Amino acid sequence: MKLRLILGDQLSRNIASLVGVDAQNDIILMCEVRSEATYVKHHKKKIAFIFSAMRHFAAELLAEGLNIHYVKYDAPNNAGSLADEVARTVARYDIDEVIVTTPGEYRLVEDIKGWSQRLGITVTIKDDNRFLSSPAEFADWAEGRKQMRMEFFYREMRRKYSILMDHNDPVGGQWNYDSENRKPPAAGLNLPPTYKARPDAVTQEVLELVEAHFPDHFGELTPFHFAVTRDQAVIALEEFVDRRLKLFGDYQDAMLQGEPWMYHSHIGLYLNCGLLDPLECIERAEAAYHAGGAPLNAVEGFIRQILGWREYVRGIYWLKMPDYKTANFFNAKRALPEFYWSAETQMNCLRQCVTETKQNAYAHHIQRLMVLGNFALIAGLDPDEVNNWYMLVYADAYEWVELPNVSGMILYADGGLLASKPYAASGAYINKMSNYCRSCKYKPSVKNGPTACPFNYLYWDFIARNDGKLRGNPRMGFMYRSLDQMSDEKRQAIRDDSRRFFNAIEANEKV
């Protein structure tokens, strides 16, 4: 008899660990355990989403006639960890092999590697067949390359799956239409609502459990409207393609106060837990282009996020772990400010992004990169604390996707392995791409002093204090020429403003 373990982010019927399942003899184990729910204090909505999706998936497998052993979080005999639950189930049944699909986190893979010796039976770890590139394939692509740029990997993936291709050439003659996808928010945009599911009895039970057992975790639990079944997730995908994809490209970098969803798809959490398959999302968007339902810049931009970026960051993660987790190129050590938890700040852009994160366990990629992440970068926040924050606040966050995005793309903590330059920016960028600055105490047009946008002087302070590490970067030449042209008085004003700001956040003053 085989024990087939299904983790909370493996809710796919075609997952490798279910291939060849014997309905008469095999046991499928699913468990909600304390160690996974609390190793970081995940957002309440994230826990509720995963537990509800797990319970719905288990019910679907049970209806199919499979043998399900499901352990709820509040079960009186819950052992509290995956390893202990597996051991308890192995002891209960006549199990001769445990089968599990490779988890999305290095720490869990390393733990599972020791189970065979602990249990005295075979433990088989299968490759995760839901991704479009395996770690081995990515390693082969990366071997011998001085720079592992996503763009070139993405082109190989387009060719491999024949996506948006005209024989050997990209449809439209270009591989990448990113230059067309940076429009600031226009007046009078009619933003379609995001998909909202109605919580059923199973979800209501989970919501009550989360409220009772995780009261001190970050975030707001209700209203809760995530899809928790594959059928619902497919509807969410269809609504995006039909209602928002056509303008996704134009406004994918735009931010509007009080509009957390914009034209984005909001399906990352469904992809990353297995309710949606990446190739079906790609092919659905490609079909919309060929049917005239969405322009090429929007479709290519959406496909690049899945076929390019998502596969690429996973490849980086497995190629570079475990050392990647401790990367800290700038030796950044400043503690995460309290406003990342409370949203109590006079910087309106940060207040909006943290508030929406608390409410929704979601923020779109520019909010994560160019507001929340940009501040973390230029303020020199500790990568461990920043990674911990991103990991726990977002419903789509698992370490394989979170760590490269934060340490590589946001913080440049890997020294340029992933990104060709730090994504640092002043207040001018936020002012261009959003309407946040209109409701802010600080002014993006003011460079120094008490009314200046802190992003302005912190940006130049970041450039100055990392001179020795960044001046030689060919993409940073213009910034350093500009710094060199500044007067001594200007440079001193930048240092003074930055010191005053840092002293304020270290004293927990409202900045």
Tell me the pLDDT band of 170, cut-offs 50, 70 and 90.
very high
Q: What is the mean pLDDT of residues 161-187?
A: 91
Residue 182 is predicted with a pLDDT of: 86
Q: Is residue 463 part of a domain?
A: yes
Q: What is the mean pLDDT of residues 55-62?
A: 98
Average pLDDT, the chain: 96
pLDDT at 62 over 90: yes
Quickly state the pLDDT bin for 451 (edges 50, 70, 90): very high
- Residues 140 and 121 reside in one and the same domain: no
pLDDT at 481: 95
Residue 331 maps to a domain: no
> What six digits make up the tokens of 410?
């946001």
**pLDDT-based confidence at 226, cuts 50/70/90?**
very high
- 203 domain-assigned: no
Last residue within a domain, chosen from 263, 290, 320: 320
Mean pLDDT to the nearest integer, 148-166: 95
- What pLDDT is stored for residue 323 in this prediction? 96
Q: Residue 220 corresponds to which amino acid?
A: E
In a domain, 139, yes or no: yes
For 25, counting Cβ atoms within 10 Å of its Cβ (0-12 exposed, 13-18 middle, 19+ buried), the class is exposed
Q: What's the burial of 459, exposed, middle or buried (CB within 10 Å: 0-12/13-18/19+)?
A: buried
CB 202 within 8 A of CB 250: no
Answer yes or no: do 345 and 490 share one domain. Answer: yes
CA atoms within 13 A on the CB side of 56: 27
Residue 224 lies in a domain: no
Angstrom distances, CA of residue 131 to CA of 9, 311, 384: 13, 7, 27
Q: Residue 15 sits in a domain of what CATH number?
A: 3.40.50.620
413 sits in which H/E element: none
Let me know whether 386 and 484 are in one domain.
yes
Check whether residue 29 and residue 58 sit in a common domain. Answer: yes
The whole-number pLDDT of residue 179 equals 85
Q: Is residue 45 part of a domain?
A: yes
Position 187 confidence tier, pLDDT thresholds 50, 70, 90: confident
Last residue of a domain, one of 93, 126, 159: 126
Domain final residue pick, 90, 107, 126: 126
Residue with tokens 């970068």: 377
pLDDT confidence bin for 508, thresholds 50/70/90: very high
pLDDT at 335: 97
Asked whether residue 218 is assigned to any structural domain, the reply reads no
Residue 384's domain comprises 339-506
Q: Are 107 and 161 contained in the same domain?
A: no
CA angle 396, 354, 400 (to 5 degrees): 25
Q: Which residues contact 265 (CB under 8 A, 6 or more apart)?
A: 237, 240, 244, 245, 248, 281, 302
Burial group, residue 490, by CB count within 10 angstroms (0-12, 13-18, 19+): middle
In this structure, the answer to whether residues 406 and 487 fall within a common structural domain is: yes
| Residues 234-271 as b or e (16 or more Cβ within 10 Å = b) | bebbebbbeebbbbbbbbbbbbbbebbbbbbbbbbbbb
CATH of the domain at 177: 1.25.40.80
User: How far is 393 from 307, CA to CA, in rounded Å?
Assistant: 25
380 shares its domain with 435: yes
Does residue 175 share a domain with residue 37? Answer: no
pLDDT of 146 > 90? The answer is no
Does one domain contain both 274 and 365?
Answer: no
Question: Domain check: are 347 and 256 in the same one?
Answer: no
What per-residue confidence (pLDDT) applies to 37?
86
pLDDT in tens, 71-129: 999 999 998 899 999 999 999 998 999 999 999 999 999 999 999 999 999 999 999 99
pLDDT for res 147:
83
Q: Are residues 407 and 345 in the same domain?
A: yes
User: Considering the domain boundaries, does residue 276 fall inside one?
Assistant: yes
Count of the separate structural domains present in the chain? 3
Q: How far is 12 from 18, CA to CA, in rounded Å?
A: 9
Q: What is the pLDDT of residues 312-332, one digit of tens each?
A: 999 999 999 999 999 999 999
My answer on whether 364 and 494 are in the same domain is: yes
Q: Is residue 188 scored above 90 in pLDDT?
A: no
Average pLDDT over residues 409-426: 95
